[in-house]
Amino acid sequence: MTLQGQKVVVLGAGRSGRAAAALALREGACVSVYDEAPIITGFAEVVSLHPSTTAEIGATVQCDLLIVSPGIDTFGPLVGAFSRNAIRVVGEMEFAWHYYPGFTIAITGTNGKTTTTEMVHQILNKSGISCVPCGNYGKPLAEVVMESPMPEVISLEASSFQLETIEAFKPHVAVWLNFAPDHMDRYPTIEKYHQAKLRIFENQDADCTAVIRKGENLPLLRAKTITFSSIDGDSDWTSNGITIEQAGTQVLHVENDTCLRGLHNAENIMAAIAACRALGRPLDLKAAFADYVPPPHRCEWVRTLDGVEYLNDSKATNLHALESALRSQTRPVVLIAGGKEKGLDYRSVVPLMQQKAIAAVTFGQIAEPLGDVMRDAVPTEVVQTLEQAILAARKLAPPGSTVLFSPGTSSFDMFRGYEHRGDTFRQLVHQLA
């Protein structure tokens, strides 16, 4: 992509926008940045800054290349206006990828993208292969391609927002973790959201690899396909949540070799290892997972006490996340749930609770009504505070079970946010004697 002397407009002045502007400057472009915010800072003096922008202003702007930051709605009026007089329109990821000569592993899915992106980074670096996590997680890709030296591999989290604006983007390995309804505030239908994610495979050919969860609704792919599943035993990679196997041979013992728990994390592990193996280089998996700590508050293992595992899933601020955490468990569960009243109908959780749980403890603002729902599934105690909930769960949990802290709603009745809530849970569990 030759930019010498061309007029480039960057829409969005956040971190991705700053990185894209810096890269465009390096390539000799004349760069302007537009943002709806009243103040724009953090750019080189030669960059023309335009705060408080509007669609009306955008309709008057002409450029050779419009680079859209991922947080801005591609189909919204602002991008529509700026696109009218732009010769080309791309996102920051597509723009930066043209300047990256190394090996690309791109990861998409509704859930688990960040964890899998981090795992790929961890596996490769521990195996002596330089890798940087970037994209929708970590650094913007435009920052990475300006590093010297650049990493051999990028572990690139690719959101549907970023995939909307690709043209030539062609990852050597594309990972599809899963799909569930999400971002319905941005997409008019679930099908439109699904189509945006599917673009990760759009430019792949027979020389590329697609690592996919078996059973997903995917078209026939041109890339070499590798499947994984915690449900379908005919997949290339399989797991029961305790061991990871490839073609019947154990590759990793989840409980002994990692601090990850749950079927969903087992699937993330399988996807990450399969993606890394596509490089054809030796991997040190034991070293990679020996000290790997997953992102906090996402079914995070806290400790095992008296044969009972304690998991912190404070990130579960909605029903879908609570159901995903429950579904992933391989041990009997004592669930701790509750928090702020959001008007959610928890009755849909009852069948899953009957399958996975042996007891529940509810707390917080919705403790009483949530307790009434949970009693339709399992014995339930209602308390007021998180500390009381942990003590009650400890009494209810026999050896071999899991105390799962997955609130299923937001935390603002008692905490500053889900991070504060999860940190408090972790601290209280470590105080148990």
**What is residue 184's predicted lDDT score, i.e. its pLDDT?**
55
Q: Is the pLDDT reported for residue 80 higher than 70?
A: yes
Q: What is the mean pLDDT of residues 16-40?
A: 97
**What is residue 185's predicted lDDT score, i.e. its pLDDT?**
63
Domain holding 53: CATH number?
Answer: 3.40.50.720
**What is residue 182's predicted lDDT score, i.e. its pLDDT?**
57
Q: Are residues 39 and 111 in the same domain?
A: no
Q: What is the mean pLDDT of residues 378-398?
A: 98
Reduce the DSSP state of residue 3 to 3 states and report it: coil
Per cent of the chain over pLDDT 70 is 99
Q: Are residues 115 and 42 in the same domain?
A: no
Q: Taking a C-beta distance cutoff of 8 angstroms, is the pair 285, 254 a contact?
A: no
Work out the angle between the directed axes of helices 113-126 and 263-277 (0-180°, nearest 10). 50
**What is residue 137's predicted lDDT score, i.e. its pLDDT?**
87
- Is 295 inside any structural domain? no
From the CB of residue 350, how many other CB atoms can be counted at a distance below 10 Å?
Answer: 15
**What is residue 181's predicted lDDT score, i.e. its pLDDT?**
59
Reduce the DSSP state of residue 352 to 3 states and report it: helix
Separation CA 230–CA 214 (nearest Å): 9
Which H helix or E strand runs over 251?
A: strand 249-253
Q: What is the mean pLDDT of residues 226-239?
A: 95
Residue whose pair of structure tokens reads 């309804």 in the numeric block: 181
Q: Taking a C-beta distance cutoff of 8 angstroms, is the pair 33, 13 a contact?
A: yes
Last residue of a domain, one of 68, 92, 116: 92
Residues 138-171: pLDDT tens digits?
Answer: 899 999 999 999 999 999 999 988 999 999 999 9
**Number of structural domains found in the chain:** 3
**What is residue 318's predicted lDDT score, i.e. its pLDDT?**
82
Last residue of a domain, one of 43, 74, 92: 92
Regarding predicted confidence, which is higher, 75 or 426?
426
Half-sphere exposure (CA, 13 Å, Cβ side) for 243?
8
Q: Are residues 180 and 250 in the same domain?
A: yes
Q: What is the mean pLDDT of residues 372-398?
A: 97
Q: Are residues 206 and 266 in the same domain?
A: yes
DSSP string for 34-51 = E-SSS---SS-TTSEEE-
Reduce the DSSP state of residue 414 to 3 states and report it: coil
pTM: 0.79
- Domain of residue 81 covers 7-92
Q: Which two tokens stand for residue 123?
A: 């596996």
**What is residue 234's predicted lDDT score, i.e. its pLDDT?**
94
**What is residue 308's predicted lDDT score, i.e. its pLDDT?**
97
Q: What is the CA radius of gyration of the chain?
A: 23
Q: Is the pLDDT reported for residue 28 higher than 80?
A: yes
- Is 1 inside any structural domain? no
Residues 173-191: pLDDT tens digits?
Answer: 999 998 865 565 677 888 9
Q: Are residues 83 and 108 in the same domain?
A: no
**What is residue 255's predicted lDDT score, i.e. its pLDDT?**
85
- Is 318 inside any structural domain? yes
Neighbour-count burial of 64, counting CB atoms closer than 10 A to its CB (0-12 exposed, 13-18 middle, 19+ buried): middle
Q: Which two tokens stand for residue 422?
A: 């999860």
Q: Are residues 253 and 131 in the same domain?
A: yes
- Is 415 inside any structural domain? yes
Strands 308-312, 86-91: pairing is unpaired
Regarding predicted confidence, which is higher, 319 or 175?
175
Which H helix or E strand runs over 255?
A: helix 254-257
Q: Are residues 146 and 270 in the same domain?
A: yes
- Is 57 inside any structural domain? yes
Neighbour-count burial of 60, counting CB atoms closer than 10 A to its CB (0-12 exposed, 13-18 middle, 19+ buried): exposed
Nearest Cα neighbor of 104 from 286, 275, 288 is: 275
Q: Taking a C-beta distance cutoff of 8 angstroms, is the pair 93, 162 a contact?
A: yes
